[in-house]
A and B are shown apart, each in its own frame.
Chain A
Amino acid sequence: MLTQEMKGILAASKKRGWVLEPGAKRLLGLAGLAIPEFKWSTSLDELLNFAQEIGYPVVAKVVSPKVLHKTDSGGVVVGIEDETGLKQAFGKLSAQEGFEGVLVEEMLAGVELIIGAKVDYQFGPVILMGLGGTGVEIYRDTTLRMAPLTRNDVESMIRGLKAHELLEGYRGSEPVSLEELTRMLLAFSGLVMEIEEQFESIDLNPVMCSSDGCVVADARIMLKG
Chain B
Amino acid sequence: MNFQRIFEPKSMAVIGVSLTNDRHPANVIYNKNLLRYPLKVFPVNPKGGILQGEDVYTQISEIPEKVDLAVVVVRAEQVPDVLDACIQAGAGGAVVISGGFAESGRGDLQDRMVALGREAGFPFIGPNCLGIYSPSYVDTFFLPSERLVQPASGNVAIVSQSGGILVDQMLNFSSEGVGLSLAVSIGNKALIKEVDLLSYFSKDPKTDVIAFYVEGFGKSEGRDFVLAASECPKPVIVMKSGKSPEGGRAVSSHTASLAGDYEVFSQVLSQYGVVEARNQFELVSFCESLGCYRTSVKGRIGIITGSGGHGAMAVDCCYQNGLSVPPIPEDLQEEIRGALSRSVGPIASLGNPIDLTGSAMDDDFVVAAEYLSRAPDIDCVMMLLLPYIPGITSDLGARLSHVVRREGKPLVAYVPHVDKYSMLIEGFELNRVPVSPAIEGAVLMAEAMRRWKPC
Residue A101 at the chain B interface, CB threshold 8 Å = no
Least CB separation from B272: chain A residue:
A146
Residue A14 at the chain B interface, CB threshold 8 Å = no
Partner of A222, one of B217, B221, B253, B272: B253
Q: Which residues of A contact B (CB under 8 A)?
A: 18, 68, 114, 116-118, 120-124, 126, 128, 130, 136-137, 140, 142-146, 153, 156, 200-203, 205, 220, 222
With A and B bound together, what is the CA distance between A90 and B252 in angstroms?
27
Q: Is the interface of B mostly helix, strand, loop or mixed?
A: helix
Given A144-B267, A146-B226, A222-B252, the answer on whether A122 and B257 have CB atoms closer than 8 Å is no
Q: Which residues of B contact A120 (CB under 8 A)?
A: 222, 259, 261, 264
Are A116 and B222 neighbours in the complex by a CB distance under 8 Å? Answer: no
Given A118-B255, A123-B226, A203-B254, the answer on whether A146 and B261 have CB atoms closer than 8 Å is no
Given A122-B220, A128-B258, A146-B226, the answer on whether A202 and B268 have CB atoms closer than 8 Å is no
Q: Is the interface of A mostly helix, strand, loop or mixed?
A: strand
Interface centre among B216, B220, B256, B268 (most CB of A within 10 A): B256
With A and B bound together, what is the CA distance between A103 and B311 in angstroms?
63
Are B253 and A143 neighbours in the complex by a CB distance under 8 Å? Answer: no
Q: Which residues of B contact A143 (CB under 8 A)?
A: 267
Partner of B253, one of A116, A124, A140, A146: A116
With A and B bound together, what is the CA distance between A118 and B257 in angstroms?
10
Q: Which residues of B contact A144 (CB under 8 A)?
A: 259, 263-264, 267-268
Can you name 17 A-B residue pairings with CB atoms under 8 Å?
Answer: A118-B253, A120-B222, A121-B220, A122-B217, A122-B218, A122-B222, A122-B223, A123-B220, A126-B259, A128-B258, A144-B263, A146-B268, A146-B271, A146-B272, A201-B252, A202-B255, A220-B253
Residue B219 at the chain A interface, CB threshold 8 Å = yes
With A and B bound together, what is the CA distance between A120 and B220 in angstroms?
8
What is the distance, in angstroms, from A28's C-beta to the closest C-beta of chain B?
15
What is the distance, in angstroms, from A168's C-beta to the closest C-beta of chain B?
20
Q: Which residues of A contact B255 (CB under 8 A)?
A: 114, 116-118, 128, 201-203
Are B216 and A153 neighbours in the complex by a CB distance under 8 Å? Answer: no
Given A68-B252, A137-B254, A201-B253, the answer on whether A145 and B271 have CB atoms closer than 8 Å is yes
Q: Which residues of B contact A140 (CB under 8 A)?
A: 258
Q: How large is the interface on B (under 10, 10 to 19, 20 to 34, 35 or more residues)?
A: 20 to 34
What is the distance, in angstroms, from B453's C-beta to the closest C-beta of chain A?
11
Residue B137 at the chain A interface, CB threshold 8 Å = no
Q: Which residues of B contact A153 (CB under 8 A)?
A: 271
Q: Which residues of A contact B272 (CB under 8 A)?
A: 146
With A and B bound together, what is the CA distance between A122 and B252 in angstroms?
19
With A and B bound together, what is the CA distance between A140 and B219 in angstroms?
26
What is the distance, in angstroms, from A203's C-beta to the closest C-beta of chain B?
5
What is the distance, in angstroms, from A148's C-beta to the closest C-beta of chain B?
11
Are A118 and B252 neighbours in the complex by a CB distance under 8 Å? Answer: no
Q: Which residues of B contact A205 (CB under 8 A)?
A: 254
Q: Which residues of A contact B257 (CB under 8 A)?
A: 137
What is the distance, in angstroms, from A123's C-beta to the closest C-beta of chain B?
4
Are A145 and B253 neighbours in the complex by a CB distance under 8 Å? Answer: no
With A and B bound together, what is the CA distance between A124 and B221 in angstroms?
9
With A and B bound together, what is the CA distance between A137 and B255 in angstroms?
9
Q: Which residues of B contact A136 (CB under 8 A)?
A: 254, 258
With A and B bound together, what is the CA distance between A54 and B271 in angstroms?
43
What is the distance, in angstroms, from A115's C-beta to the closest C-beta of chain B?
9
What is the distance, in angstroms, from A144's C-beta to the closest C-beta of chain B?
4
Are A121 and B253 neighbours in the complex by a CB distance under 8 Å? Answer: no
Given A123-B220, A222-B252, the answer on whether A137 and B258 have CB atoms closer than 8 Å is yes
Are B253 and A126 neighbours in the complex by a CB distance under 8 Å? Answer: no
Contact with A along B377-398 (1 / 0, CB 8 A): 0000000000000000000000
Least CB separation from B216: chain A residue:
A122
What is the distance, in angstroms, from A114's C-beta to the closest C-beta of chain B?
6
Residue B265 at the chain A interface, CB threshold 8 Å = yes
Q: Which residues of B contact A118 (CB under 8 A)?
A: 253, 255-256, 259
What is the distance, in angstroms, from B440's C-beta to the closest C-beta of chain A?
24
Least CB separation from A134: chain B residue:
B254
Q: Which residues of A contact B263 (CB under 8 A)?
A: 144
What is the distance, in angstroms, from A76's C-beta to the closest C-beta of chain B?
15
What is the distance, in angstroms, from A140's C-beta to the closest C-beta of chain B?
6
What is the distance, in angstroms, from A129's C-beta to the closest C-beta of chain B?
10
What is the distance, in angstroms, from A39's C-beta to the closest C-beta of chain B?
26
Least CB separation from B266: chain A residue:
A144
With A and B bound together, what is the CA distance between A121 and B261 in angstroms?
8
With A and B bound together, what is the CA distance between A146 and B224 in angstroms?
12
